[in-house]
Amino acid sequence: MANFKLAAAALLSFGAASAWQTRTSFVTSPRAIQQSALKTAALYNNNHAVQSRSSLNMVVSDPTSVSSGGGMFTASNAESRRVVPEDPRGRPTMKIVYVVLESQYQSSMTAAAKRINAGSDNMAVECVGYLLEELRNEDAFEQFKKDVADANVFVGSLIFVQELAEKVTEVVQPLRDQLDAVLIFPSMPEVMRLNKVGSFTMKNLGQSKSVVADFMKKKKQEDGSSFEEGMLKLLRTLPKVLKFLPSDKAADARTFMMSFQYWLGGSPENLESLLLMVGQDYVGPIKENMKGKEKVVVEEPVLLPDKAIWHPVAPDIVFETNQKYFEWYDKEFCPEAGIDPKNAQTIGIILQKSHINTKDDTHYVSLIAELESRGARVVPIYSGGLDFSGPVEEYYYDSNGKPIVDTIINLTGFALVGGPASQDHKKAASTLKKLNVPYMCAVPLVFQSFEEWQASELGLHPIQVALQVSLPEIDGAIEPIIYAGREGATGRSVPLADRVNLLADRAMKWASLRTKKNADKKIAITIFSFPPDKGNVGTAAYLDVFDSIKAVLKQLKTEGYDIGDAPSEKEAIMESVLNDPEARINSPELNVAYRMNTNEYYELTPYAKDLEENWGPAPGNLNSDGQNLVVYGKQFGNVFIGVQPSFGYEGDPMRLLFAKSASPHHGFAAYYTFLEKIFKADAVLHFGTHGSLEFMPGKQVGMSGTCYPDRLINSLPSAYLYAANNPSEATIAKRRSYSATVSYLTPPAENAGLYKGLKELKELISSYQGLRENEGRGPAIVNSIVSTAWTCNLDKDIDDLPDLETYDAKNDTPERRDDIVGKVYSQIMQIESRLLPCGLHTVGVPPSADEAVATLVNIAQLDRPEDGIEGIPRVIASSIGRDINDIYRGNNNGVLADVELNDKVTQASRAAVRALVSQSTDSNGRVKEVKNFFDEVGGFFGGLIGSKKPWTQAIIDNGFPNVSEERLAPVMAYLEFCLKQVVANNELPGIMELLNGQFLMPAPGGDPIRNPDVLPTGRNMHALDPSAIPTQAAVEVAEDVVRKLLEKLADENNGAYPESIAFTLWGTDNIKTYGESLAQVLALVGVRPVADSLGRVNKVELIPLEKLGRPRVDVVVSCSGVFRDLFINQMNLMDRGIKLAAEADEPLEMNFIRKHAIEQAEELNVSLREAACRVFSNSAGSYSANVGLAIENGGWEDESQLQEQFLTRKGFAFNADKPGMMEQQADLFKAALKKVDVTFQNLDSSEISITDVSHYYDSDPTKVVQSLRDDKRKPMSLMADTTTANAQVRTLSETVRLDARTKLLNPKFYEGMLSTGYEGVREIQKRLRNTMGWSATAGEVDNFVFEDANSVFIEDPEMQKRLLETNPNAFRDMVTTFLEANGRGYWETSEENIERLQELYAEVEDRIEGV
């Protein structure tokens, strides 16, 4: 019996050493195996399996010294794929040119051509191949044109990138008739239509009837199969199909199908047969030469079965049943390899058949060997098509239907069903859920060589990110680890040793979560402290962290985890981590869980020396006691609750200025070293949105071993609890820190309501409505309304509010009185109806009935035309013959009758929703089970007795007797479905599924009001397919917002349009709105996105000026770091669109982009295209302008420092001509900003407004632009608010006032926050600090906002006492913020107020220090 242990070891070393040689068999002579195995056998010694890292010592030169190919991602060269016959010996030569997506065909094609040149008497072959991505390079494209011009045969395969498909078509289409044959295997339809084999064509593909097309369509309807699946099935049923074709056509169709079989076979022998067959049957000179000679009888295609189990050292090449495989594997291979088949973890591996066909399998062999060396069994399967759900069902269950694998690794990098072409994510997710094991999708480098990827700051090629990271995530895949590269000269796949090791380690760790007993598992719960301060421990967006930890601990205990003596109360859990429950008494430090001396730290942290460049030698002064590195937290049994350290540079003005972010500090590294090597966690649960791990420096996507998120998390499985409304940052956590995310609900949004003077105003307006005809009382009430409006500072929002001193309503007309009251009413209705997230969410607690009503009311107001659903307000308005949009318009303009009507419609909508929810509400005010009102029985009985549905009756009772029950039915049925999703409780089960090593179902993230598919929470959140945005609906909404924006600006500027608008783009906002703000940028420039035949948006076209009807407006786009990571293809789209406009030969007064680019090209001495770069962001791996960090920590000298930070950190240009890099272009950034007339941002979600987070002001360039403009004029600052169906454009100062009135100054908000205790005080202080942030970056905060906040929180002794006792650290920050706002000139107030604040500061300080 062969020694399989040695065989596998030898294969590994043999494969790595000879990756560039064409191998025709998997195993060489036994003697060669024995010798080479000696070198690597140590790897298979299980005692050392974990310590010794790998047998593959593929060390690569320093990445920084590798040329990055002038900013291109792919700098390889087709010349390495050119074969020219050395001696044609008088034979006719056939020239073949091929274009492929991936490079595994290169060696087979080269070998096939060489074999024919050496052995055929009838023909010689010249052959050259191009990787699809190479065609972006101008020189390569020119060479490609020349090659095709004198070719005989053209072959293309998997051409699925639209702009490159167009390039291929552009070259091949005009030459198609002169080519002897064109063979196109699965690709975009327009490329497939180039096919030509004799009389066989696919000219009508996708357009009209044809036998092939009909067959494909039928197959797709029957089983949802993709194009390639259809082709494969067509091959199997070929004889039946050919019966229907005339004989000559049948022969040509047969040749095409045979060619496809040879191509799928992929080996040199198969491709040799393909070339011989096509050459002698279709290439003129060879056919001529063959006259009178006997044709070579080509071998039948040598094909592996369509699906099977493959193992590199198996005696049979493949196994068609798992029974046969395990018969060999368990009984023969495992004993030899030292694997215990009964107790070993089993890893399922999904492979791409073409790599096995072409024998380009070294990367597969490498991972298999690494897993087996760790004692695991493997089951490597492949499928001939692109649907792997069948093979998964067939091979990963035993005869009793029980899963036999503990983790799956998909090594193809593609979606489970449909590969790169068309996906069926639902089918994939249900297949994976049935199996219920962790599902990892690792990625081989396709378009880059190993060196190019190493050198690239961006990391993985954007096309691969879209196809092989984004799409698998929608299936529920985790961990996009790069595990193989391309060897530049031969195109063969090469395993990347450290990545293969990491992948094997992580797969085994996930598998052990499935196999290990719960009582033995160690779980590290990681909480955050941001900004770093004791009053901020346990920070997470809208989450009651300690109450949620309490719920998780209880669930862990229920499921048999050892939680030791963990307390069962929230306060006691806080006490244990903070040392005292309210961080009140003389405890500057948190609870210390572990002190790590520097020797231990350096020994256990392999990259520790690299951190010294930024932080000096350990221990440093962060998370350190001067001698040791300190880990904060508390252990209970097998559960550790730890505090993740912060970035470390928050308060350091110099570090905040760095263009690129610094490495983590020693304390941060020590924390993760402790979790992995000392506590030995089986998994980490990162608790809430969000920490710093995923934002550490490194590549954007496709981490290398030198990227800090990768180094820190290393082999630890990570579950990450992330707010459902933040899919963009959750996606960063998935990709950069290898985390499986679990979504949690944000608190439901309620109406902000009215208080104090605002409430009084509404009562006065109500009185006026009853007495407006009364000439005695009416005018007196109007005078009171005007006076109260001034008291409430509404004069800032109502331009023509009458003067308090001189106005008397009795001298005014009734129409003018109505106008004044209407405008005031409109303002207070905006405040009252503003949505306000109330309180904080606790994991596992579904919303109450009242909270459910609040959410559903917001869902109910939106029309959803794509689902045939009208919003309730539209149905109500139509019952009185009005269009809801007209009512909104009148309301916004302060028309009293419309403001009243809008209020009435809103109340009726609310009553209808309440009527629906109350049917399912229990005695505790919670919805446990939703009663189904839309079943047949309920409808039948209701119909019999002729009664109205409760919601219809509620609307009638609210004054709309003619409302149509029939028109209400679709929206009410939809709301009933949404109610079920809102109250479903999946968060705790979701966390436990991950900790128990199960598959967590995927779900989109986003705004649950716009997209209720986000619900229920507790699922593995993903973003969207980036190539799907902007959608057509988003483009329409965007064009409407741009029209409103430009109208508003032209009105205020004597009809003149702004020349340039500075825009901020956010990742999450574009996910929620499917690309609305991205589409706004394109609309301003006057370009339109165009979808390809697969519905992917990846090109733009210029809208002609005569159709646009206005000038093209210049833009300066500042993209958040998260947007850059998720939507680099859309940055490419914008850059191409802007350059299209800059190069359009149009009058400068109608094209401001061209006008400015010409000026800047001259000023900076660059080309027009370079001067037209307008899309900027951070450098790769860096995030934010750090302005928020500086303001949150007070670490800034003056505003010029903040402006310098913004320019330095945000001045990296994206250039579609050099897509592989972000280039620092500070001069160009400044030159573009200098021209800006207006700054603009979007608000699209009620949960996150402009004072809730620092991001909005962090990226606001208002004062930056002012400082750069020659006239030093401050640009106008505007905000588009699309949070409700009534979208509006407001000034920034209006938006800040609205936000302050509905949150910071609103008792409903601050009392709701205070009711949650410690965390609530921090939330209030955060809003105050962020309000000051707007003063610093835009100067758009009115004095009364600080004045009123001071009277609410500081002047009231009772409130002071509550804040101080609940969270003294956060209260101290609040006092500091008031003093800082005054000191920096943002708030003018009385001496008395300042003295009170100074005394308070000293008092709080003493209290905290325990004096």
Of 587 and 761, which is predicted with more confidence? 761
pLDDT above 70: residue 1258? yes
Residue 332 has, within 13 A of its CA and on its CB side, a CA count of 16
The pLDDT tens digits for 1284-1322 are 777 788 899 999 999 999 999 999 999 988 988 888 898
Token pair of 412, please? 């193809």
pLDDT confidence tier of residue 18, bands split at 50, 70 and 90: very low
Residues in the chain: 1411
**781 closest CA partner among 765, 804, 758:** 765
User: Which of 596-605, 848-857, 869-878 has the lowest average pLDDT?
Assistant: 848-857
Task: Count CB atoms within 10 A of the CB of residue 732.
Answer: 26
922 touches 928 (CB < 8 A): yes
pLDDT above 50: residue 42? no
User: Which of 329-333, 393-397, 762-766, 832-836 has the lowest average pLDDT?
Assistant: 832-836
Residue whose tokens read 């908000």: 1309
The pLDDT tens digits for 184-217 are 988 888 899 999 999 888 876 554 444 444 544 5
pLDDT above 60: residue 366? yes
Please state the separation of Cα 1001 from the chain's center in Å.
Answer: 17
pLDDT confidence tier of residue 55, bands split at 50, 70 and 90: very low
pLDDT above 50: residue 1181? yes
Task: Count CB atoms within 10 A of the CB of residue 574.
Answer: 25
Phi and psi of 745, rounded to 5°?
-75, 140
Q: Is 806 helix (H, G, I), strand (E, B) or coil?
A: coil
pLDDT of residue 65: 28
b/e code 527-558 from CB counts within 10 Å (16+ = b): bbbbbbbbbbbbbbbbbbbbbbbbbbbebbbe
Residue type, 315: P
pLDDT confidence tier of residue 26, bands split at 50, 70 and 90: very low
Distance separating alpha carbons of residues 155 and 159, to the nearest angstrom: 11
1021 touches 722 (CB < 8 A): yes
pLDDT above 70: residue 71? no
The pLDDT tens digits for 510-549 are 999 999 999 999 999 999 886 566 667 877 888 999 999 9
Cis omega (within 30 of 0) for bond into 567: no
pLDDT above 70: residue 952? yes
pLDDT above 50: residue 67? no
- Crossing angle of helices 1318-1337 and 1343-1353, rounded to 10°: 160
pLDDT confidence tier of residue 241, bands split at 50, 70 and 90: low
pLDDT of residue 22: 30
**484 closest CA partner among 68, 56, 899:** 56
pLDDT of residue 1235: 94
The pLDDT tens digits for 654-692 are 666 666 777 899 999 999 999 999 999 999 999 988 888
Token pair of 628, please? 């040791």
pLDDT of residue 298: 86
Distance separating alpha carbons of residues 694 and 685, to the nearest angstrom: 14
pLDDT above 60: residue 237? no
pLDDT confidence tier of residue 265, bands split at 50, 70 and 90: confident
pLDDT of residue 1097: 85
Token pair of 63, please? 């990445």
Q: Which residues contact 171 (CB under 8 A, 6 or more apart)?
A: 144, 145, 148
Q: Which residues contact 1204 (CB under 8 A, 6 or more apart)?
A: 657
pLDDT of residue 1068: 81
Residue range 1349-1355: average pLDDT?
Answer: 95
Residue range 382-389: average pLDDT?
Answer: 87
pLDDT above 60: residue 1380? yes
pLDDT above 80: residue 307? yes
Q: Average pLDDT, whole number, for the chain?
A: 85
Residue range 1133-1138: average pLDDT?
Answer: 94
User: Which of 19-28, 69-78, 196-205, 918-927 has the lowest average pLDDT?
Assistant: 19-28
Q: Is 824 helix (H, G, I), strand (E, B) or coil?
A: helix
pLDDT of residue 36: 30
Distance separating alpha carbons of residues 1237 and 339, to the nearest angstrom: 70
Residue range 501-510: average pLDDT?
Answer: 97
Distance separating alpha carbons of residues 1261 and 1240, to the nearest angstrom: 9
Residue range 1260-1281: average pLDDT?
Answer: 90
pTM, entire model? 0.83
Of 448 and 391, which is predicted with more confidence? 391
- Crossing angle of helices 570-578 and 545-558, rounded to 10°: 110
Q: What percent of the chain has pLDDT over 90?
A: 52
Of 581 and 335, which is predicted with more confidence? 335
Q: Which residues contact 1255 (CB under 8 A, 6 or more apart)?
A: 1066, 1120, 1184, 1188
Residue range 1254-1280: average pLDDT?
Answer: 89
Q: What is the DSSP letter of 529?
A: B
pLDDT of residue 1118: 93
Q: What percent of the chain has pLDDT over 70?
A: 88
**1168 closest CA partner among 1217, 1219, 1237, 1134:** 1217
pLDDT of residue 4: 37
pLDDT of residue 656: 62
- DSSP H helical ranges for 930-1074: 936-945, 950-957, 965-983, 987-995, 1032-1051, 1067-1072
Q: Is 439 helix (H, G, I), strand (E, B) or coil?
A: strand
Instruction: Count Cβ atoms within 10 A of the Cβ of residue 1057 and give its class: 0-12 exposed, 13-18 middle, 19 or more buried.
Output: middle
